[in-house]
Amino acid sequence: MGKQVLLLRSGKQEMSVSKETECLHIDVCDGTSAQLYLDIKADVAKLCIEMEVAKGSEASLFIKNDALQKMQLQLLANVRKGATMHFGYCDLECGQRQVTGHIQLLEEGANVDMRSVSISQDRKCYDICIEHLAPHTSGEMQHYALVEDTGSYVMNACGKIIKGAYNSVSHQATRVLTLSEEHHSSVTPTLLIDENDVKASHAMTLGQPDENQLYYLQTRGLSRKEALGLLSIGYLLPIVAYVNDADKQQELKNEIEKRVGLHA
């Protein structure tokens, strides 16, 4: 099939992508409020998603990545005047990943907030950039990861504000919980600021669970596995809020809890 084009108008839509689709182009109509739940199927090895968020619109894109093999994913998004993009990404599978994202806030009043969660048993590498190209723009990203065994999680997150993009806001935070000393993970937060009248920040944590917290939970009758599961949930469950459907929220919550060992 190659390239697919999807026009988003007001309301909720669901879509699945298989290996036949190499590129998905999404257009969000002017002044609309649209939500898309996108399921990437197990057989996908390479996918590019292009998104145009028209002026005055509000678009929510949630991606559930169920690919079971090595996969490359690219997200390119342009956000126009007075528009807002909400982007959620969830990857609980074991395959290798190379994910790149470049979101451009092209015109005044453009906004984006993104949140990702990932469980890594293999190598998962993310390069994400939000670029402010106009005044009064806002970009916020939050990334959460759980790294198991000899897994690797690499996050390169960049907020870029060019000269003239005054009164803009760029915030980013990454939290990585490692469950083994054998992991190979790194987080590189970057702010490239060429304008004085802005607000910008970055924060990150990377480390193993607090043994005191684990001990306390175990004194309350939990096994070590259950205690680790409860601590892990705090990193992963925030993504559920980015799903705009109550049934799918519950489905994802159950899947996350099962994945960390809280359910059989």
Segment 199-214, tens digit of pLDDT: 999 999 998 888 888 8
Q: 58: which DSSP letter?
A: E
Query: Tokens 């806030």 label which residue?
Result: 105
| HSE (side-chain half, CA atoms, 13 Å) at 82 | 8
Whole-number pLDDT of residue 147: 93
Residue ranges per structural domain of the chain = 2-209
Share of the chain above pLDDT 90, in %: 78
Are the C-beta atoms of 90 and 64 separated by less than 8 Å?
Answer: yes
Segment 2-44, tens digit of pLDDT: 889 999 988 999 999 999 999 999 999 999 999 999 999 999 9
pTM value is: 0.94
H helix or E strand, kind and range, residue 258: helix 246-259
Segment 84-128, tens digit of pLDDT: 999 999 999 989 999 999 999 999 999 999 999 999 999 999 999
Range 231-237 average pLDDT:
87
What is the DSSP code string of 187-229?
A: EEEEEEE--SSEEEEEEEEEEPPPHHHHHHHHHTT--HHHHHH
Segment 238-247, tens digit of pLDDT: 899 999 899 9
Whole-number pLDDT of residue 264: 56
Query: What does the mean pLDDT of the chain come to?
Result: 93
β-pairing verdict for 152-161 and 84-91: unpaired
Are the C-beta atoms of 84 and 107 separated by less than 8 Å?
Answer: no
Q: 133: which DSSP letter?
A: -
Cα separation, 145 vs 12, in Å, equals 28
